[in-house]
Every structure is written in structure tokens, then in C-alpha cells.
Amino acid sequence: MGEIIMKNLFANRVLNNDTSDLNEIFKNSANPENISFAGGFPDNRLFPDHALQAAYQDAINRGGQALFQYASTQGLATLRQKLAERMANHADVQVTADNIMLTQGGQQAIDLVAKLLLNHGDAMAVEGPTYMGALAAFDTYEPTYYEIPVDHDGMDIRYLRHTLKAHPEIKLIYTVPDFHNPTGTTMSLQRRKDLVALANQYDAIILEDSPYRDLRYDGTNLPAIKHFDTEGRVVFISSFSKILSPALRTGWLVADEPLIQALVNLKSATDVQSSSVTLAAIDSYLAHNDIDQHIANLNAAYQIKRDAMLNALDRYFPANVSFTRPAGGFFIWVVLPQGVDAKQLLKDVILPQAHVAYVPAACQFAHRKVTNGFRLNFTGLDPVTITTGIKRLGGILQHLNVDTTVAKVALS
């Protein structure tokens, strides 16, 4: 059967879900000739592989045959208890293990919340730009998106207030408040409070997605948005992907009743449970290792990489290109002059001539309309490679003729 005919059989909800551009970018990233700033990858060399190996072994030794049986959908109770303590100590959120569900990465948690709340056409607010993986998850539920701009203090709450006034039917607000993907910015304390007040006023649910929260290189952490939640309308998500390993595919979701029970029911229908073996291994890792020391080591290494990228950007990028200066996380956001299409530029010039990859703006906006920007990741590469890649990228941008659209990119 031909591809076109076969696609006629696909459900409407996946027809708009075109990831071919991204597949192309990640294919190019895998080419060793290229320096790729595209993926949101932790540094391979910082994974605690020996400690994790010991943790899996310990989990299997302790659990015996019973470990290999089906287990609860919500996930290992002792691990949820540890996470409840972590939520209190690291996010100022007081919850019990009953409020927590373990998921297959934060990605599954996003999908489950969308599945719970979004009928076809339902209104939701997302940051513009936002995490493209969340958009991919939301797209399949066919919401009506309202994009809220992001500035140096995170989501623009004044803009959100106007949007909610005009569209009080908005039922879900998705935000990445800590070291935002893709801009790296962090939502201010006041905006966190204002956001909860608006959600209360307009009867909306907030999805607080915070996998980068612990990866702070300057300053001190702010309380989670969930800390200010008095009506049980904030669902908080985090993950072990960035602080331990993404291959564990383990994240967690924090919610109050009735949301938590409904989400447990949906996970049961989706995949029954996460891997008990992996959850027991993570539980053992946390019992026998100081994860905060591990995170401190990550932060020391990632700070050097962040600084290497910022120094190179200062040095090699032209004055008409601006970029963010994140205090943590994985990403820097670059804004090109109006009219430049970063995707076309990548394909036509950057990849073939500079052999560098990034994630162009459009796929990180719900409406795909903004083209003049891109996301850079600084955690996956070493500082020397970062500097080399940014120098090559800057070399092209220095010679970009900004009076034209990129279809006519002129290199002088």
C-alpha cells in the first residue's frame, strides 16, 4: 500500500502532527561531521553508570522473584515517599506520596494531563516559544492554542490576563517556569503568584513542567508554582531524565484529588505501570547515593559549558542577533533579525557550510509562525567543541544580508 493511501487511514488527530522537519534535523545531528546544538541531551560522561548498575543489582537482590511481577500503576510507594520529601525540600511543595504518580518520563505525564483535559477544539494557553515535545503531545488532542509570549521573567502574565479575559474558556495553561525550554528564562516570584490567581479566577488548570529545576548555575531557587496552589489546580511534573539519566524513562507527577486518581486511571489504560525494576533501582540509588551531590557535580560541569557558549556568543555573533543568558538548564535562545527564516537558513547555509545544527524557531511555536530564532543546547558538548561550533555559526551570521529574507541569503 502506498504511503498516501495508507495515511488516509490515519485518525485526524495525527494528520497535523508533522515532525518530518525535526526528524531531518536530528538525522543531521547524528552525522559526526556536524556539531549539533539541536538535541536536549545531558552529557554522556556525567551519567553515574556504576552507581546505577549497583542500584539495579541491589534492587534485584532485594526484590527477588516478586520484583518481576505486575505492580501498582501509581508506582513504588517508597520511591514516591522519597519524592514527597524532595518536593518539600526542593520545591516548597507539601504533599504526601498519595499525591504523586511515577510516569514514563515527564513526557508521559504531559500526555496524560492533555488526555484528561482536552476535547477536540478546547482552548489552552502555551508559552511562545515552548517545549516542542509538549506541542507534539498536545497536538494529538487538537486543542485551540493561545500563545503567550515569554520574556526575561518567564511567561508574560499581563498578556495572559488579556488573553483569559478575551477567552475565558481557556481550561489549561502549560508553562515551563524554571530554565524554560527553549529560552532558558525563569518565571519571577510575582508572576508565579499572579498565574495561580488568574487560574483561580478563570477556573483553569496549570500544568507546571519543571525538569530543569535543580540545574541552577547562579542565584537561588524560587518556590514551585504548585507552592502557591490553594485550590488543587496545579499539576506539577518533573523527571529523572536531566538529573540522572533519560534512559530510565522515569518522571513524576504531583496532583491533588480528583486529578491524581483520574490520571492514575488513565495511566493504567495507557501502559498499566512503569517498569517496577527501574523504579526499584532508582529507589535504591536514592537510598545509597547522595543525589544532591551528583546534581552539584552536574551543575559545576554545566556552568562551565554555559559560560563557554555565552563567551563564544559574545565574541562571534553580530550585534543584530540577540540571545538569552540563562541561570541554569540546558538552553540558550537566539533571536535573528526580522524576516530571517532560521529553518531555511539551516538547510541552505548553516548545515552545508558551517556543519552546525540547531532547532529552528517555528516548530517551537504552537502556530509555527515565528521563524527568526533558534534554540541552542550547551550541555551535550564539551567547551572546546561549543566554542568551535559557535564560531562557525557566528561566521555565517556575520555575513547575513538582513535586508532580504533568507530565501535570498547573501553571503558577502
Ligand X SMILES: Cc1ncc(COP(=O)(O)O)c(C=O)c1O
**What b-and-e string marks burial along 230-262, b requiring 16 or more CB atoms within 10 Å of the CB?**
eeebbbbbbbbbbbbbbebbbbbbbbbeebbeb
Please identify which residue in 131, 145, 302, 374 interacts with ligand X, judged by CB under 6 A.
131
211 touching ligand X, by CB under 6 A:
yes
154 touching ligand X, by CB under 6 A:
no
174 touching ligand X, by CB under 6 A:
no
CA nearest neighbour of 335 among 350, 325, 327, 349: 325
177 touching ligand X, by CB under 6 A:
no
Applying CB under 6 A, which part among 105-113, 147-155, 216-224, 260-268 lies near ligand X?
105-113
Applying CB under 6 A, which part among 59-67, 73-81, 82-90, 100-108 lies near ligand X?
100-108
* Beta carbon nearer to ligand X, 185 or 387: 185
CB of 148 to ligand X, least distance (A): 16
* Beta carbon nearer to ligand X, 109 or 390: 109
Tell me how far CA of residue 105 lies from CA of 263, 287, 319, 329, in angstroms.
Answer: 15, 21, 39, 17
Site for ligand X in 305-364 (CB under 6 A): none
Beta bridge partners, 386, equal none
How far, in Å, CA of 34 to CA of 274, rounded? 36
105 touching ligand X, by CB under 6 A:
yes
* Beta carbon nearer to ligand X, 317 or 330: 330
* Beta carbon nearer to ligand X, 106 or 328: 106
CB of 127 to ligand X, least distance (A): 10
Enter the DSSP assignment of 167. Answer: -
- Cα dihedral 303, 307, 308, 312, rounded to 10, equals 160
CB of 209 to ligand X, least distance (A): 5
CB of 334 to ligand X, least distance (A): 17
Applying CB under 6 A, which part among 136-144, 238-246, 301-309, 355-363 lies near ligand X?
238-246
Q: Using DSSP, how many helices (H) and how many strands (E) does the chain show?
A: 14, 14
Cell triple for 264: 492514575
CB of 13 to ligand X, least distance (A): 20
Residue pair 252/101 in contact by the 8 Å Cβ criterion: yes
How far, in Å, CA of 25 to CA of 362, rounded? 13
Query: What is the number of the residue whose Cβ is closest to ligand X?
Result: 105
Cell triple for 240: 529523572
145 touching ligand X, by CB under 6 A:
no
Site for ligand X in 28-47 (CB under 6 A): 40
* Beta carbon nearer to ligand X, 103 or 299: 103
Helix/strand/coil for 296: helix
Cell triple for 370: 515565528
Helix/strand/coil for 35: strand
- Cα dihedral 276, 282, 287, 290, rounded to 10, equals -170
239 touching ligand X, by CB under 6 A:
yes
CB of 349 to ligand X, least distance (A): 27
CB of 40 to ligand X, least distance (A): 4
246 touching ligand X, by CB under 6 A:
yes
Please identify which residue in 107, 183, 299, 324 interacts with ligand X, judged by CB under 6 A.
107
* Beta carbon nearer to ligand X, 38 or 406: 38
CB of 248 to ligand X, least distance (A): 9
> Which residues, including other chains, have CB under 8 Å from residue 330's CB and lie 6 or more apart?
40, 42, 179, 181, 184, 212, 215, 242, 302, 377, 378, 379
Enter the DSSP assignment of 143. Answer: P
CA 272 and chain centroid, separation: 24
> Which residues, including other chains, have CB under 8 Å from residue 387's CB and lie 6 or more apart?
308, 311, 312
Please identify which residue in 209, 229, 283, 341 interacts with ligand X, judged by CB under 6 A.
209
365 touching ligand X, by CB under 6 A:
no
Site for ligand X in 186-205 (CB under 6 A): none
Residue pair 110/207 in contact by the 8 Å Cβ criterion: yes
Please identify which residue in 99, 241, 273, 274 interacts with ligand X, judged by CB under 6 A.
241
CB of 305 to ligand X, least distance (A): 17
Count of residues in contact with ligand X, rule CB under 6 A: 14
In the complex, which residues of this chain contact ligand X (CB under 6 A)?
40, 105-107, 131, 133, 176, 181, 209, 211, 239, 241, 246, 251
